[in-house]
Structure 1
Amino acid sequence: MTCDQDLDGTVVRGRSVWKNQDGYLAGEKAPFKSFYANMFWAYALLALFWFPGFVQHWNHRIQLHSHITLVIVLAMCESALRYYEFTGLNSTSISTMDVTCWAITFSSLKMSMSRLLLLVITTGYGVVKKPIVGNIALRMHLLGVVYFVLAEAYKLAEHLETLSTNGLTFIMLLWVVVENCVIQWTFRSLWNTLKKLKVKKNMAKLQLYEMFATALVILTLLNIALIYVKVTTPQLLCIYLPMFCCLLICLFWAPSDKLTRYLYIAEMEDEFEEEEGASLTKKRRED
C-alpha cells in the first residue's frame, strides 16, 4: 500500500544503517563498553596493591601467591580485550574476530583458574595440609581443563552461532554441572578445613579461614539475592562478584614475611600429631 499512486510497484535497493547517538552498539550492549573499562582500572588498582608486595616478598613467596598473580593478569587482559572489542564494534559496527576469540579465551582461562584458586584455598593445601600431590592434584587439574573447554566451547558457539539451539543448550548444561561440582567441592572443603583447624587449635589460621568463610557466604547469598532483583544488566553483576572474591583473597593472603600464617609446616603438624597420639595412648591406659 502506498500513498502516492505514481510510486506503486517501485523497487528500492540499498542498505539501512542503524546507529544510536553514541555509536553502533545496541542499547543492551552499550553499558558493556564503560563496564569493561572500569573493570580494567579496578584490576589495575588491585595489581598496584598486589605486585609491589609480591616483588618485595619474593624470597618469601608461596605457590598461592603466583596463582593469585596469574588470575589478576588474566583478568586485566580479558577486560582490556573486551573493551577494545566493544569500542571497535561501537565505532565500525563490525566485530573483529581475532580480538573476540582472544577475549573469550582469556575469559575462559580466568574463570577456570579462579575456581582452581578457590579450591586450593578452601581445601587448605599448602596452608593446613601438605602441598597438593597425587590423585587430588590430578583431579583438580582435570576439573580445571574440563571447565576451560566447556566455557570456551559455549562462548565461541554462542558468538559464532555454529551450533543449533539444542547443541548450545547441551554444552550449557554440562557447564552448569561442572560449575555445581566446583561449588559443592569448595564449600565441603572449606567446612572440613575449618573443622580441622578447630581440632588442632591453630588460632591464627582458624581466624583467617573464618573471616574468609564469612565473606564467601555473604557474597554467595548476595549472588542468590540478585537473581530475584530486577536489574538492567544482570550479566555485569555476575562479573562484579568474582572480582570482589578475588579482592578478598588478595586481602586475606597478601604477601608477608610471616610465613606461618600461610604455610603448612611439617614440624608443627608432626608435633601436634605426636601429642594427640600420646594423649590417646594415655587415655587407653587409664581405661
Structure 2
Amino acid sequence: MTSVRLFGAFSVLIASSIISTEASLHQYNGRRFESKGNSFFLHGGSEGIYHSLSSPSENTRDSFIRFEEITLRRPKDFSNFSSGYVHAIVFEVDDRETIGGSAYGGQRAVCCSPDLAKLGFCKEGEIIHRQSTKSPGWPQVFGTSFEVDESVATLRSRSISITETGMYNLYFIHCDQRLKDLVVEGKTIWKNPTGYLPGRMAPLMTFYGFMSLAFVILGIFWFYQYARFWKEVLALQNCITLVITLGMFEMALWYFDYAEFNKTGVRPTGITVWAVTFGAVKRTVSRLIILMVSMGYGIVRPTLGGITSKVVMLGVTFFLASEVLELVENVGAVSDLSGKARLLLVLPVAVLDAFFILWIFNSLSATLNKLQARRMMSKLFIYRKFTNALGVAVIVSVGWICYELYFKSTDVYNEHWQKAWIIPAFWQVLSFSLLSVICALWAPSQISMRYAYSGDGGEDFSRDDTLTLIKPSPMHEMDIRGALDTKPSKDHNADQEEGKTE
C-alpha cells in the first residue's frame, strides 16, 4: 500500500510518457486529452534542461520553456456552460510527488475528490498540488477556463525560466467530464543554454563531431595504404573501403543533423533520413563483409557458390528492418509509439543480428578447421586474430545489452537523462573499434596477395565440408598383377631393341 500511495495515479502518467525527439519546438495540432483515473490529461513534453548560464536580462545563454499561441477548443454543442480551470503544470521529475493526493491512505488522485474536499485539503474539481520543499515556486501551475457560449479559450503566452538542471515535464490537465472532447493547439519551445537540443541529446552533437574526426583519421590511413598498393588490392579491401566511406558520411550527417536541430529547434527531416539510410547501409554491408570473410570469400574460396542468394536475402531483410526502426525512432515522434509497437520494430533487428552471429561463428569454425588441415599458416594466423576480435566484440555487446536493460529498468522516470546519450554512443564506438581492427588486419600492403585466394588447394573450400584430405587408397590384387606384368614386358621389348642395334 505504501508504494501505491507513493507512486499513484500521476506517477503512472509520468512513467507512461516517453521523451519526444521530434523537436524542442513541441507542436499541438488538435491533440486530444486522455482519461486517466479521475482526471483528463495531455502530455505536453518531457526534456532534460540545464540551468541558465546567464543573468535573467540576457537571453543568449538562458534556459526556458515558452508557451506560445496555446488555444483550447471544445465542441460548440458543449459550449453552453462555464467550466473549471484547464491547468498547465510544469514540474521537475523529483517533485512528482507534489502533484496529487490521497484520502485515508487510498490511491492517489490528481483531481480533488469529495473525500479530500471534506478534509479541507482542496476544492472539489481542482488540481491537487503543493509547493516543492527543494525549489520554492515549483511546480508552476497556471491555466484558463471557458465562459458560457465560448468554444475557444486562450492560454496566456509566458516564458518559464529554468534555474536548476533537471528533467522537466509538462502536462495539460482538467477535471471536467464535460470537456472530454477538448483539443489543444499551439506550441511550446524548450531551450537549453547552448541551443534547442534536448538535454539528453546535446552531448551527441559533440560526440558525432569527434566520431567524424576519428573516421577521417582512419580514412586517411586506409586511403594512403590503398593508393600505395593499389595493384595488390583485394576484393575484400574494396568492401572495407566502402564501409569506411559510408561511416564518414554517416557521422558527418548525424553531426549536421544535431547542429541544425540545436540551431532552429526543428529536426531537419531530410538530413535525418539520409543519416539513417547511410547508417543502415553501413551496418548491413559491415555484417555481410564479416560473414563473407568468415566463409573465406576472396581468401580461401573464389565465390560463395550456391549460398550467395541466401546471403543477399539476409542482407536485404536486415537493411529494411534496420531502416524502418531508425526512421521511426529518429524521424517520427517516439512518443506516438506504444511499448508494443516499439517491440515489434526492435525484435526483427535483434533476431536477424542473432542469426548473423550464429552464421558467422559457424562459418569461422569451418574455415579455421580447413586452414589448419591444409597448413596455410599465414592465413590461419590472421583468421585467428579476426576470430578473437569478433569474440571480444560479442562478449562486450552482451555485457552492454545487460547494462542497457538494467539502466532502462531502473530509470523509470528518466532521472538519469544526463547519462542516456552514452547508450547509443557506445554502439558507435564498438562498431568503429571492430572496423579499425579489421583495417589493421587486412590493410593494403605489398604482401596483400599472400592472403588472396589461389587455386593451389583452395578450390576444395567451396565443396562439401565432409570432404577429407587426399590419402593413398589400397590397390586391388588385379591392379598389382597388371602393374607387375606390364613392367617386364617393357623390359623385354627394350632388350629386343638393343639386340637389333647390335
* 2:432 alignment counterpart: 243
* 2:191 alignment counterpart: 19
Give, as a single letter, the amino acid of the residue that structure 1 aligns with 2:215: Y
CA distance in structure 2 between the partners assigned to 1:271 and 1:169 by the alignment: 44
1:141 correspondence with 2:333: no
* 1:55 alignment counterpart: 227
Asked whether the 8 Å contact 2:301–2:459 carries over to 1, the reply is no
Greater length-normalized contact order (CA 8 Å, ≥ 6 residues apart): 1
1:92-145 deviation line (CA, Å, top 9, x unaligned):
111111111111110100110010111111111111222234x21111111111
Higher share in helix: 1
* 2:369 alignment counterpart: 195
1:282, CA displacement in angstroms? 6.0
* 1:91 alignment counterpart: 263
Asked whether the 8 Å contact 1:126–1:132 carries over to 2, the reply is no
- Other structure's SS at 1:281 match: coil
CA distance in structure 1 between the partners assigned to 2:397 and 2:240 by the alignment: 22
Matches within 5 A, 1:156-167: 156-158=327-329, 159-161=331-333, 164-165=337-338, 166-167=340-341
CA distance in structure 1 between the partners assigned to 2:193 and 2:367 by the alignment: 54
CA distance in structure 2 between the partners assigned to 1:225 and 1:8 by the alignment: 51
CA distance in structure 2 between the partners assigned to 1:13 and 1:124 by the alignment: 68
Deviates more, 1:136-145 or 1:13-22: 13-22
Higher share in strand: 2
* 2:394 alignment counterpart: 220
1:151 to 311, 322, 326: 322
CA distance in structure 2 between the partners assigned to 1:111 and 1:167 by the alignment: 23
Identity between Structure 1 and Structure 2 (%): 31
2:443 to 232, 237, 254: 254
1:245-268 deviation line (CA, Å, top 9, x unaligned):
100110000112224432111024
1:208 correspondence with 2:351: no
Unaligned runs of 5+ in 1: 2-6
* 1:110 alignment counterpart: 282
CA distance in structure 1 between the partners assigned to 2:298 and 2:154 by the alignment: 73
Asked whether the 8 Å contact 1:23–1:91 carries over to 2, the reply is yes
Deviates more, 1:18-27 or 1:66-75: 18-27
* C-alpha spacing 1:227/1:157, structure 2 compared with 1 (3 Å): closer
1:281 correspondence with 2:473: yes
CA distance in structure 2 between the partners assigned to 1:246 and 1:283 by the alignment: 53
CA distance in structure 2 between the partners assigned to 1:173 and 1:65 by the alignment: 32
1:46 correspondence with 2:235: no
* 1:36 alignment counterpart: 208
1:197, CA displacement in angstroms? 0.9
- Other structure's SS at 2:191 match: coil
1:270, CA displacement in angstroms? 6.2
* 1:169 alignment counterpart: 343
* C-alpha spacing 1:282/1:276, structure 2 compared with 1 (3 Å): farther
1:217-270 deviation line (CA, Å, top 9, x unaligned):
122222222334466421111111111110011000011222443211102436
* C-alpha spacing 1:67/1:12, structure 2 compared with 1 (3 Å): same
CA distance in structure 1 between the partners assigned to 2:220 and 2:476 by the alignment: 56
Deviant stretches of 4+, over 4 Å: 7-11, 161-164, 228-232, 270-273, 282-285
Deviates more, 1:24-33 or 1:10-19: 10-19
In the superposition, the TM-score normalised over structure 1's length comes to 0.87
Deviates more, 1:7-16 or 1:242-251: 7-16
1:121 correspondence with 2:293: yes
CA distance in structure 2 between the partners assigned to 1:62 and 1:194 by the alignment: 20
CA distance in structure 1 between the partners assigned to 2:144 and 2:457 by the alignment: 92
1:180 to 336, 339, 354: 354
Give, as a single letter, the amino acid of the residue that structure 2 aligns with 1:141: V
CA distance in structure 1 between the partners assigned to 2:144 and 2:351 by the alignment: 58
CA distance in structure 1 between the partners assigned to 2:352 and 2:196 by the alignment: 36
Asked whether the 8 Å contact 1:50–1:254 carries over to 2, the reply is yes
1:131 correspondence with 2:303: yes
Give, as a single letter, the amino acid of the residue that structure 1 aligns with 2:451: Y
CA distance in structure 1 between the partners assigned to 2:264 and 2:474 by the alignment: 79
CA distance in structure 1 between the partners assigned to 2:359 and 2:337 by the alignment: 32
1:60, CA displacement in angstroms? 1.6
* 1:4 alignment counterpart: none
1:157, CA displacement in angstroms? 2.3
Unaligned runs of 5+ in 2: 1-84, 86-142, 146-152, 158-186, 408-418, 478-502
